[in-house]
Chains A and B, each alone.
Chain A
């Protein structure tokens, strides 16, 4: 067969957060589409947008709307062709028996978060609730959740699929209180699929084939989570199985949320996109609104029959 070589750059190392792609490779779905796909993991100092824009990688599962906006703002020629996580993938966690019972209680407390986009969500939530972010001690968050477990930190940011699991297993879920962005009317979709403008223009069939195979992979992963975990753990055997099973379940929740049941996986919800853009413009993270039409391109998804895309 005459396969087209292509690579997918992930935002991080192998884990079930990306299970669908690995399953699709394992089951040969990309090959079926004529694509010889290599999955390249991310790293602490790599940005998928950069690698896709320069042509080092064909596809990217990048940080999220935050990184897509930042890239477009810096004139990186990338296009978002799909969004995986329809909801804000992280929550803010406090102790159930602690002093923080409501958003209002954030005032004067120590909150740690990632300064890679999550901080803007936090600011927006605070502002929405009439709190001046300056009154909250906001600090960069470290990898380890131990400071929170040990009570040195009042509120911690946690992805639903990673840190939350760690905290939960160390403290017990009942000991935790979570704050969700959507409760304040904010949505921050993440895990975006991107290609370069060139690829979008010159190889639309490649993109379509990639999406088709990826969706198939994800649907298989949802249908057979144990098998999907096996596939991923074969690549990264040092991972914790229970954690990975939990992660896949959480990823599924995030991926099938919002309008996905009607519009299919990887749906780009332009309403959520606009909310997020406003958030960034207000926070002066991007200098000006970007050209949304040029940045988000649903045509590749739309070319796939809706029935195939529905979870």
Chain B
């Protein structure tokens, strides 16, 4: 109990509503201040130690590059975001679905699960051609990779969560005459939700990795493309600019998923 209240400040008692509104704002401001400080320090370090731009460019130069040609970064951001979202959503849905199926059909799970594990040891990047072959040169090819990286942790945690149901709780509902379906909807799935969200948070990062790697398989737009371009033209400034955009995308997406978690799993994971 105490742990859950700690990790969910929303449920903590006290605090007026205006303060509740102000707090995230203050936190955001503090974060921005730290960020500015870090960039200032970075700039100073590069200047003072005369670090060559091939190794580390000055942040001002990076931001100037972003400012002068924003289009590729904005487009890249949007494209990669779209791929990530599609892959993430489908991976999450499939992961949860197959988790439920495995929970019900133990034999199937024992048959297939090891294959799932093995599949996760394969570096997708080795199969660029196969991905293009199967999914074409479309957005869905990238989303497919994001999907592949996403579904597995979700499946694992869905299963873990479903199996963590307190048997006494199950017995109680059964004593009320609950059907298997009622058990699932009213007990098992809600119980698994905290675990599922832990996986979703992890998957949010993985989906982004999938999208970026997917863009290495012949694409024109996307953060992955920009990274590749920057790498092979030794355009360190562009690499850094892309990196910062990726960081922004990654952090935001993660924060959104974490926010959804706080919203849906307001009661916290009772261990």
Q: A residues touching B (Cβ–Cβ < 8 Å)?
A: 7, 9-10, 12-14, 38, 40-47, 50-51, 54, 56, 143-146, 162, 166, 235-240, 243
Give the residues from 9 to 65 in chain B that come closer than 8 angstroms, CB to CB, to chain A. 54, 65
List chain B residues, Cβ under 8 A from A44: 128, 216, 228
Of the stretches B97-105, B179-187, B219-227, the one at the interface is B219-227
Give the residues from 59 to 97 in chain B that come closer than 8 angstroms, CB to CB, to chain A. 65, 69, 71-72
CA–CA, A54 and B130, complex, Å: 10
Interface flag for B121 (CB, 8 Å): no
- Docked-complex contact A46 and B132, CB < 8 angstroms: yes
- Sorted nearest first, the 5 A-B pairs with minimum C-beta distance are A45-B128, A238-B238, A43-B216, A237-B69, A237-B72
Return A42 CB to nearest CB of chain B, in Å.
Answer: 6
CA–CA, A234 and B229, complex, Å: 14
- Docked-complex contact A45 and B220, CB < 8 angstroms: no
Q: A42-B218, A43-B218 are in contact. Are A13 and B232 (CB under 8 A)?
A: yes
List chain A residues, Cβ under 8 A from B230: 238
Q: A43-B218, A237-B69, A238-B238 are in contact. Are A143 and B231 (CB under 8 A)?
A: yes
- Docked-complex contact A56 and B133, CB < 8 angstroms: yes
Of the candidates A14, A43, A56, A145, the one whose C-beta lies within 8 Å of that of B136 is A56
Of the candidates B69, B126, B136, B218, the one whose C-beta lies within 8 Å of that of A41 is B218
Taking A44-B216, A56-B136, A238-B69 as given, write out 19 further A-B residue pairs in contact, using a Cβ cutoff of 8 Å, ordered by the A residue number: A9-B218, A13-B232, A38-B137, A41-B220, A41-B225, A43-B228, A45-B217, A46-B218, A50-B129, A51-B132, A54-B133, A56-B137, A146-B54, A162-B233, A235-B220, A238-B226, A238-B229, A239-B233, A243-B233
**23 intermolecular pairs with C-beta atoms under 8 Å apart:** A13-B228, A41-B219, A43-B216, A43-B218, A44-B128, A44-B228, A45-B125, A45-B216, A46-B132, A47-B129, A51-B133, A54-B129, A54-B133, A56-B129, A56-B136, A144-B54, A146-B234, A166-B233, A236-B220, A236-B229, A237-B69, A238-B69, A239-B235
Return B174 CB to nearest CB of chain A, in Å.
Answer: 53
Return B111 CB to nearest CB of chain A, in Å.
Answer: 31
Q: Which residue of chain A has its CB nearest to the CB of B239?
A: A238
Q: Which residue of chain B has its CB nearest to the CB of A163?
A: B234
A interface footprint on B192-234 (CB within 8 Å = 1, 0 otherwise):
0000000000000000000000001111100001101111111
List chain B residues, Cβ under 8 A from A43: 128, 216-219, 228
List chain A residues, Cβ under 8 A from B235: 238-240
Return A53 CB to nearest CB of chain B, in Å.
Answer: 10
Of the candidates B217, B234, B238, the one whose C-beta lies within 8 Å of that of A144 is B234
Of the candidates A7, A47, A240, the one whose C-beta lies within 8 Å of that of B233 is A240
List chain A residues, Cβ under 8 A from B231: 143
CA–CA, A243 and B238, complex, Å: 15
Q: A145-B234, A240-B233 are in contact. Are A46 and B129 (CB under 8 A)?
A: yes
CA–CA, A166 and B132, complex, Å: 32
List chain A residues, Cβ under 8 A from B217: 43, 45-46
Give the residues from 116 to 143 in chain B that come closer than 8 angstroms, CB to CB, to chain A. 125-126, 128-129, 132-133, 136-137
Return B134 CB to nearest CB of chain A, in Å.
Answer: 9
Return B51 CB to nearest CB of chain A, in Å.
Answer: 13
List chain A residues, Cβ under 8 A from B129: 45-47, 50-51, 54, 56
Return A100 CB to nearest CB of chain B, in Å.
Answer: 23
Q: Which residue of chain A has its CB nearest to the CB of B241?
A: A238
- The residue among B69, B126, B217, B226 with the most chain A CB atoms within 10 A of its own CB is B217
CA–CA, A33 and B131, complex, Å: 31
- The residue among B65, B126, B238 with the most chain A CB atoms within 10 A of its own CB is B238
CA–CA, A44 and B220, complex, Å: 14
CA–CA, A12 and B235, complex, Å: 16
CA–CA, A7 and B136, complex, Å: 11
Of the candidates A46, A237, A239, the one whose C-beta lies within 8 Å of that of B71 is A237
Return A173 CB to nearest CB of chain B, in Å.
Answer: 17
